[in-house]
């Protein structure tokens, strides 16, 4: 099936309504709507995919836990992908100046040994000032949003290299703009930035934020993670529990099959459309991966809507 974005949204709504009875089951990690995978490759068959904590044979399950083969006209699939937050517990040692996206960053909160770092997705402008974007969990871990608002936002210093007492490796301060549910946070950048290359390893600059809502199986993407470097994937679905999340699988036409799609330390990197356009088009913010062929990203459209609501401003360059 050759999907259009309009048709995809219609079918997604139908699937979301159909899985309401399964949405709160504790044995199910997530429920996705998208293209079925066979031997790790995308097919053209739409399905409802249940990601469970442990995949078991139907014979070993109680009858009330067996998932149906079909729901609302959609075939079902059961997987046990182990997608995790991808912070790397090692001290960062590379200092990059001027700053570019794809570089490693470290929050003041995690200065105690062992260090825990993630990725600075990109440097952009908001209301005439430079800001960086990364995951909420990269800056704050599992600290509740209310505590972040009162104790850390606007105060927590962010480093691009090992901390020192003079703070000469600081790149800025955590912004008051963040969202724990969408897993994003902004950083007020105080260091010079390199706008001749906004993302490490990719030509082009972010002249303006061009958000792209992906089409399952058709939108090919790439990212620069602080650990894995440049990797390539394909968006192949969308979470029915959290519409802002979508899964990505390795693109066999670009990604080396012997290398992982993402690694610990890549949290916070940006997935952008894999084309040769120097106007970088952003699809989502990387937040999870299994260290092999699967990753999860948060929709950049959802993030920008949250930023606009909080700041009443729109990014521009």
Q: What is the DSSP letter of 76?
A: E
- Residue 219 forms part of a structural domain: yes
Supply 82's token pair: 């182990």
Helices (H), 79-213: 136-140, 145-147
In this prediction, residues 58-72 reach a mean pLDDT of 73
The pLDDT tens digits for 145-157 are 999 999 999 999 9
Of 33, 18, 73, the C-alpha closest to 217 is 33
**Per-residue pLDDT at 207:** 63
The pLDDT tens digits for 172-190 are 999 999 999 999 999 999 8
- Residue 88 forms part of a structural domain: no
- Residue 186 forms part of a structural domain: yes
Same domain? 107 vs 136:
yes
- Residue 310 forms part of a structural domain: no
Same domain? 190 vs 209:
no
pLDDT at 38 over 70: yes
The pLDDT mean for the chain works out to 87
Same domain? 183 vs 209:
no
**Per-residue pLDDT at 236:** 97
pLDDT at 244 over 80: yes
- Residue 85 forms part of a structural domain: no
**Per-residue pLDDT at 314:** 45
Reported confidence tier of residue 98, pLDDT bands at 50, 70, 90: confident
The pLDDT tens digits for 204-218 are 666 667 899 999 999
What does the angle CA 121 – CA 127 – CA 131 come to, to the nearest 5 degrees? 20
- Residue 221 forms part of a structural domain: yes
Find the domain containing 31 and state its range: 5-80
Same domain? 219 vs 186:
no
Sign, CA dihedral 117-122-126-128, equals positive
Same domain? 221 vs 186:
no
Cα→Cα distances 209→171, 246, 272, Å: 22, 19, 11
Count the domains in the chain. Answer: 3
pLDDT at 316 over 50: no
**Per-residue pLDDT at 208:** 67
In CATH, what number is assigned to the domain containing residue 123?
2.40.10
End position of a domain, from candidates 48, 80, 112: 80
Same domain? 109 vs 151:
yes
- Percent of the chain at pLDDT exceeding 70: 87
Supply 156's token pair: 């927590």
**Per-residue pLDDT at 315:** 46
**Per-residue pLDDT at 26:** 83
- Residue 222 forms part of a structural domain: yes
**Per-residue pLDDT at 233:** 98
End position of a domain, from candidates 194, 215, 230: 194
Same domain? 132 vs 177:
yes
Helices (H), the chain: 5-18, 136-140, 145-147, 300-311
- Residue 200 forms part of a structural domain: no
The three-state secondary structure class of 115 is coil
In CATH, what number is assigned to the domain containing residue 301?
2.40.10.10
């Amino acid at each position: 099936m050759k999907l259009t974005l309009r048709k995809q949204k219609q079918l997604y709504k139908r699937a979301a309504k159909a899985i309401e009875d399964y949405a709160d089951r504790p044995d199910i990690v997530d429920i996705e709507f998208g293209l079925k995978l066979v031997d790790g490759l995308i097919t053209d068959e739409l399905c409802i995919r249940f990601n469970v904590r442990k995949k078991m044979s139907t014979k070993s399950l109680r009858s009330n836990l067996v998932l149906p083969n079909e729901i609302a006209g959609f075939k079902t699939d059961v997987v046990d992908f182990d997608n995790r937050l991808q912070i790397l517990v090692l001290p960062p040692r590379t200092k990059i100046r001027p700053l570019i996206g794809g570089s490693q960053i470290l929050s003041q909160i995690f200065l105690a040994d062992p260090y825990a770092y993630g990725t600075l997705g990109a440097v952009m402008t908001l209301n005439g000032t430079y800001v960086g974007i990364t995951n909420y969990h990269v800056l704050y871990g599992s600290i509740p949003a209310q505590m972040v608002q009162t104790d850390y936002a606007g105060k927590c210093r962010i480093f691009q290299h090992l901390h020192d007492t003079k703070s000469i490796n600081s790149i800025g301060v955590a912004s008051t703009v963040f969202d724990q549910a969408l897993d994003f946070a902004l950083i007020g950048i105080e260091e010079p930035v390199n706008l001749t290359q906004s993302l490490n390893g990719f030509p082009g600059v972010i002249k303006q934020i061009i958000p792209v809502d992906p089409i399952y199986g058709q939108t090919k993407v790439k990212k620069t993670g602080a650990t894995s470097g440049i990797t390539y994937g394909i968006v192949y679905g969308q979470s029915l529990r959290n519409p802002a999340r979508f899964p990505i699988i390795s693109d066999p036409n670009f990604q080396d099959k012997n290398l992982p799609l993402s690694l610990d330390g890549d949290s916070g990197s940006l997935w952008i459309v894999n084309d040769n356009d120097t106007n970088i088009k952003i699809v989502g913010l990387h937040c999870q991966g299994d260290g092999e062929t699967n990753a999860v990203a948060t929709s950049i459209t959802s993030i920008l809507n949250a930023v606009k609501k909080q700041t009443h401003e729109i990014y521009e360059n």
